[in-house]
Structure 1
Amino acid sequence: MENYRNLNELRPGAIIVEDIYANTAFPIIRKGTMLEIEHLEVLDLFNIKRVKIEERIANRVQTEQREEEITNTISSDIEQLLENKISRTSDLHTMYKKAVNDYKREFTSWRSGVKLDIAKVRLLIMPLLETYMEHKKMLVVLNEYSNRKEYLFHHAVSVGVLTSALASELDYPKGTTLQLGLAGTLIDCGMAKVNAGLLEKAAFLTKDEFTEVKKHPILSYQMMQDSPLLRQEMKLAVLQHHERMDGSGYPRGDRGEKISQLSQILAVADVFHAMTCERVYRAKESPYKVAEMMKEEDFGKFDPAILDALYAVIGMPDVGDKVLLTNGNVGEVVSVNSNKPLRPNIKLQGRDDILDLCANRSVAIEKVVN
């Protein structure tokens, strides 16, 4: 009998009944492999949540007889990939999680009345900003780290990282890039002064409740206004990060040139990460779909140059890339539509037909998997 099991339900000795892929050209674990402890660690590292196994546990004699076979199921190519992934991703993710936990501790102290100490926030975010600037390809998976229970803390750290990446892509000096990344981490510090129940509410907010939440840019500005560690233009950018070019934003309804480009960078990072993450009232969306929505459906709200920078930061699918689509299908990019770079033509795996994403708007790229 065969069945799917969650990772935490797996035990050594279970038999894998289908090849397992994880953003790789070759399986990280092959069909027929008898699971050992090291295989469970590999699955965890590659964030594999469920696998299909035989409903039987091999006896110890079988385990010993197949030990050499099991050892060889991870090819040298996969071992190298695993080694690279550990150095590139595991350490980076560890740094990220530490920053989130440190920010959570600071936020909790603000909520209890402790004054904002920007020096502490700078200390927790700067190493991460520097590291992500060297690993920009990892930016597109930031939403996968977040969870709805601690979204607010993940959001602060991720917006800081995305903001600095966008500023760097727009050729701002490094000092400005890092300052803006710090400002991005602090855009929602004023939420500590908002009723906590509103931030955790699963249903849509009432008009009065939303009016209360909309005060947070002003509260954030007030919390940081006396600190010399953040430039004045960064503080203004925090105050304006919910303003929109067409005047539809808040708290003042500023429009056009009244909104600094620094605040527009914060706005794009803020909205992009929020829309790609799971929230208490909404499922997460594909980063590629969100970037496209921001450019097309929200036309006039954001600076087009910053949206172009966002496209560059998340990376455009190219010919030969293997992609996972939002409908669950996997395919290979065979040609790119220059006017719609996020809607290439896809050769679906196991099928002869080509899917034109420009003509099939209900489907989008979920992620590039090679």
Structure 2
Amino acid sequence: MATERAAAADTLRTVRPAVRVGRASAVLRPVALVTVIGLAALLFGLFALDIAVGEFRIPVGRVLDVLGGGGTRAQRFVIMDSRLPRALTAVVVGAALGLAGAVTQSILHNPLASPDLLGITSGASVGAVAVLVGLGGAGTGTAAALGVSGAALAGGLLTAVLIYLLAWGRTASGDAGVMGFRLVLIGIGVNAALLSVVSWLLTRATLNDAAHAQQWLTGSLNMADCSSLIPASIGLGVALLVTAGSARTLAALRFGTDTTRILGVRIQTQQAILLAAAVCCAALATAAVGPLGFVGLAAPQIARRLLRTPGEPIIASTLVGAIAVVGADLLARTASPVSLPVGVVTAAVGGPFLLYLLVRTNRKATL
């Protein structure tokens, strides 16, 4: 009897406490909460440091003072007009890519499912480059009215629809639907084809247009301003609202098909809605600064390991993505005498991480 009581007491101690506010309730996870707060604090510190670093260095304390409304006129001009849009763009783009990666990986149950590997980023690049090089009158026609952001969004959405349709088939249970592993393989093939289309577009462009497009394709924050920040912010906000409203559905989709259906979730409909939100988020982020490789791939996996959760955490992945891009921007501007595009840094760090995931996945498959 004493042993049973001790076991029951241990079970009660392992149950996480719940927090209730009216009809809403949530499970309190202290470790995860502290980790998220720590990530937010780290992001704010890197954000302030990113603003402080430049040709004219400003102390971090002075940066915080200017952001609070103080400082001289010269300091306010340098920080508010010159450096703040760049730093904000890095935060928004990184957060958008981290969120998009977390959603796609959660739905498809595959750590390799990210917007850049699935071809979404390449589809957005095709649309944006077509506008940048003005192919076939694109610089003066409908595409010009849409702008780079609209063309990138259209390219990303069309690519996502194509991949989704090609991945449609019979699942293991015999039902019609999208198979995650098939979608990843088709996405990799479509990605390769779209990269060839981008190269073809560059060969048809003038020298000046090709140079401009090539600079954009490296993923650079040098031209970041409010005009590119606003569409990316809107895409991130909409995606956050959709994922917040579908939090329970997203958690259910992480289970197997049979369990998800028993819970009353319309699998294909909810998958389509969440994937559309992720695609819009990633496409508008790509339009803002160009393609940044491996951020959407690595951020959810890093966040998952930090919080030790069974699935990819949305908020933590968003914060890790923002930290990755802001940190890469700092490293790109300080690691060498010449300022590097931030996309070069993310690719250099993300490539080895992809190899690590491939090796880890292969080892799990052979066990």
Q: Please classify the TM superposition score into its range, dividing by the shorter chain length.
A: under 0.3
Structure-2-length-normalised TM-score: 0.24
Structure-1-length-normalised TM-score: 0.24
Structure having greater relative contact order (Cα 8 Å, sep ≥ 6): 2
Q: Which has the higher strand share?
A: 1
Q: Which has the higher helix share?
A: 2
